[in-house]
Amino acid sequence: MSTFKAKIYVTLKPSILDPQGRTVERALSHLGQQASGVRVGKYIELHMEGERSDVEARVQDVATTVLSNPVMEDVRWELEGA
Amino acid sequence: MSTFKAKIYVTLKPSILDPQGRTVERALSHLGQQASGVRVGKYIELHMEGERSDVEARVQDVATTVLSNPVMEDVRWELEGA
Protein backbone atom coordinates (compact mmCIF):
# COMPACT_ATOMS: atom_id res chain seq x y z
CA MET A 1 0.00 0.00 0.00
CA SER A 2 1.42 3.33 -1.05
CA THR A 3 0.00 6.80 -1.27
CA PHE A 4 -0.13 8.32 -4.72
CA LYS A 5 -0.77 11.88 -5.76
CA ALA A 6 -2.90 12.23 -8.88
CA LYS A 7 -2.82 15.38 -10.98
CA ILE A 8 -5.89 15.63 -13.17
CA TYR A 9 -6.28 18.16 -15.98
CA VAL A 10 -9.73 18.84 -17.38
CA THR A 11 -10.01 20.93 -20.55
CA LEU A 12 -12.89 21.78 -22.83
CA LYS A 13 -12.78 19.89 -26.12
CA PRO A 14 -11.23 22.03 -28.89
CA SER A 15 -14.54 22.22 -30.75
CA ILE A 16 -16.36 23.70 -27.74
CA LEU A 17 -16.43 27.49 -27.37
CA ASP A 18 -14.75 28.72 -24.19
CA PRO A 19 -16.37 32.03 -23.16
CA GLN A 20 -14.23 32.24 -20.02
CA GLY A 21 -11.09 31.94 -22.14
CA ARG A 22 -12.39 34.59 -24.57
CA THR A 23 -13.02 36.92 -21.65
CA VAL A 24 -9.50 36.40 -20.30
CA GLU A 25 -8.16 37.03 -23.81
CA ARG A 26 -10.02 40.32 -24.11
CA ALA A 27 -9.02 41.38 -20.60
CA LEU A 28 -5.37 40.70 -21.40
CA SER A 29 -5.69 42.63 -24.65
CA HIS A 30 -7.06 45.64 -22.76
CA LEU A 31 -4.03 45.42 -20.48
CA GLY A 32 -1.72 45.48 -23.47
CA GLN A 33 -0.85 41.77 -23.46
CA GLN A 34 -1.46 39.96 -26.72
CA ALA A 35 -2.37 36.31 -26.19
CA SER A 36 -4.42 34.00 -28.37
CA GLY A 37 -6.16 30.68 -27.96
CA VAL A 38 -6.77 31.16 -24.26
CA ARG A 39 -8.55 28.16 -22.74
CA VAL A 40 -9.50 27.84 -19.09
CA GLY A 41 -9.75 24.39 -17.58
CA LYS A 42 -9.57 22.70 -14.21
CA TYR A 43 -6.62 21.26 -12.38
CA ILE A 44 -7.40 18.79 -9.61
CA GLU A 45 -5.00 17.19 -7.15
CA LEU A 46 -5.92 14.27 -4.93
CA HIS A 47 -4.31 11.51 -2.94
CA MET A 48 -5.22 7.84 -3.09
CA GLU A 49 -3.87 4.82 -1.29
CA GLY A 50 -3.35 1.36 -2.71
CA GLU A 51 -1.34 -0.63 -5.21
CA ARG A 52 -0.29 1.34 -8.29
CA SER A 53 -2.41 -0.63 -10.78
CA ASP A 54 -5.44 -0.37 -8.53
CA VAL A 55 -4.97 3.37 -7.98
CA GLU A 56 -4.50 3.91 -11.74
CA ALA A 57 -7.82 2.23 -12.44
CA ARG A 58 -9.61 4.24 -9.74
CA VAL A 59 -8.15 7.56 -10.88
CA GLN A 60 -9.13 6.78 -14.47
CA ASP A 61 -12.65 5.99 -13.30
CA VAL A 62 -12.99 9.10 -11.13
CA ALA A 63 -11.42 11.38 -13.76
CA THR A 64 -13.66 10.26 -16.59
CA THR A 65 -16.95 9.76 -14.78
CA VAL A 66 -17.03 12.26 -11.90
CA LEU A 67 -14.51 15.03 -12.45
CA SER A 68 -15.16 15.64 -16.14
CA ASN A 69 -18.04 15.62 -18.57
CA PRO A 70 -17.01 13.34 -21.46
CA VAL A 71 -19.41 15.08 -23.84
CA MET A 72 -17.70 18.46 -23.57
CA GLU A 73 -14.39 17.88 -21.86
CA ASP A 74 -11.12 16.04 -22.31
CA VAL A 75 -9.30 14.76 -19.28
CA ARG A 76 -5.76 13.57 -18.74
CA TRP A 77 -3.98 12.65 -15.55
CA GLU A 78 -0.67 11.55 -14.12
CA LEU A 79 0.34 9.76 -10.94
CA GLU A 80 3.19 10.71 -8.65
CA GLY A 81 4.55 8.74 -5.73
CA ALA A 82 6.13 5.47 -4.69
CA MET B 1 9.45 35.37 -33.68
CA SER B 2 8.00 32.06 -32.60
CA THR B 3 4.69 31.02 -31.13
CA PHE B 4 4.80 29.51 -27.68
CA LYS B 5 2.14 27.66 -25.78
CA ALA B 6 2.03 28.46 -22.08
CA LYS B 7 0.45 26.09 -19.57
CA ILE B 8 -0.40 27.87 -16.35
CA TYR B 9 -1.45 26.07 -13.16
CA VAL B 10 -3.14 28.05 -10.41
CA THR B 11 -3.67 26.37 -7.04
CA LEU B 12 -4.87 27.62 -3.69
CA LYS B 13 -2.07 28.00 -1.17
CA PRO B 14 -1.85 24.96 1.15
CA SER B 15 -2.94 27.02 4.17
CA ILE B 16 -6.17 28.16 2.46
CA LEU B 17 -9.27 26.01 2.92
CA ASP B 18 -10.64 24.60 -0.34
CA PRO B 19 -14.41 24.07 0.04
CA GLN B 20 -14.73 22.93 -3.58
CA GLY B 21 -12.10 20.26 -2.96
CA ARG B 22 -13.84 19.18 0.25
CA THR B 23 -17.10 18.86 -1.65
CA VAL B 24 -15.47 16.71 -4.34
CA GLU B 25 -13.92 14.59 -1.59
CA ARG B 26 -17.29 13.99 0.08
CA ALA B 27 -18.98 13.29 -3.25
CA LEU B 28 -16.31 10.71 -4.11
CA SER B 29 -16.69 9.15 -0.69
CA HIS B 30 -20.44 8.77 -1.23
CA LEU B 31 -19.64 7.03 -4.51
CA GLY B 32 -17.38 4.60 -2.71
CA GLN B 33 -14.08 6.16 -3.81
CA GLN B 34 -11.71 7.07 -1.01
CA ALA B 35 -9.55 10.06 -1.87
CA SER B 36 -7.93 12.60 0.42
CA GLY B 37 -6.39 16.02 0.08
CA VAL B 38 -8.53 16.96 -2.91
CA ARG B 39 -7.67 20.46 -4.18
CA VAL B 40 -9.34 22.10 -7.14
CA GLY B 41 -7.39 24.68 -9.11
CA LYS B 42 -7.30 26.24 -12.55
CA TYR B 43 -5.43 25.20 -15.64
CA ILE B 44 -5.00 27.85 -18.32
CA GLU B 45 -3.53 27.45 -21.79
CA LEU B 46 -2.62 30.36 -24.02
CA HIS B 47 -0.44 31.18 -27.00
CA MET B 48 1.98 34.07 -27.24
CA GLU B 49 4.29 35.20 -30.01
CA GLY B 50 7.78 36.60 -29.62
CA GLU B 51 11.31 35.74 -28.57
CA ARG B 52 11.52 33.13 -25.82
CA SER B 53 12.97 35.44 -23.16
CA ASP B 54 10.35 38.08 -23.94
CA VAL B 55 7.49 35.57 -23.85
CA GLU B 56 8.79 34.13 -20.56
CA ALA B 57 8.70 37.56 -18.97
CA ARG B 58 5.21 38.28 -20.28
CA VAL B 59 3.81 34.92 -19.15
CA GLN B 60 5.33 35.44 -15.70
CA ASP B 61 3.72 38.87 -15.54
CA VAL B 62 0.30 37.68 -16.72
CA ALA B 63 0.35 34.58 -14.52
CA THR B 64 1.21 36.42 -11.32
CA THR B 65 -0.76 39.63 -11.77
CA VAL B 66 -3.85 38.76 -13.81
CA LEU B 67 -4.52 35.04 -13.73
CA SER B 68 -3.87 34.42 -10.05
CA ASN B 69 -4.33 36.16 -6.74
CA PRO B 70 -0.93 36.15 -5.02
CA VAL B 71 -2.53 36.48 -1.58
CA MET B 72 -4.40 33.19 -1.81
CA GLU B 73 -2.98 31.31 -4.76
CA ASP B 74 0.24 29.80 -6.00
CA VAL B 75 0.95 29.79 -9.70
CA ARG B 76 3.43 27.86 -11.83
CA TRP B 77 3.77 27.70 -15.58
CA GLU B 78 5.72 26.09 -18.38
CA LEU B 79 6.35 27.03 -21.99
CA GLU B 80 6.12 24.73 -24.97
CA GLY B 81 7.18 25.44 -28.52
CA ALA B 82 10.11 26.33 -30.74
* Res. B77 pLDDT band, cuts 50 70 90: very high
Helices (H), B1-82: 19-30, 52-65
Is the Cβ–Cβ distance between B76 and B42 less than 8 Å? no
Mean pLDDT of A47-55: 95
Mean pLDDT of B70-82: 92
Instruction: Assign A12 to helix, strand or coil.
Output: strand
* Res. A1 pLDDT band, cuts 50 70 90: confident
What are the boundaries of each domain within chain B?
A: 2-80
* Whether B35 and A41 lie within 8 Å, measured CB to CB: no
In sequence order, what DSSP letters do the residues of A13-80 get, joined into one string? -TTS--HHHHHHHHHHHHTT---EEEEEEEEEEEEEEE-HHHHHHHHHHHHHHTSS-TTTEEEEEEEE
Listed by number, the residues of chain B in 4-23 with a beta carbon closer than 8 Å to a beta carbon of chain A are: 5, 9-11, 21
* Whether A45 and B25 lie within 8 Å, measured CB to CB: no
The pLDDT > 90 percentage for chain B reads 96
Q: Could you say which architecture CATH assigns to the domain A2-80?
A: 2-Layer Sandwich (3.30)
Residues 6+ apart with CB under 8 A from B24: A44, A46, A66, A67, B38, B40
**Closest residue in chain B to residue A68, using alpha carbons only:** B24
Q: Does B74 touch chain A (CB under 8 A)?
A: no
Give me the pLDDT at residue A82, please. Answer: 61
Instruction: Assign B36 to helix, strand or coil.
Output: strand
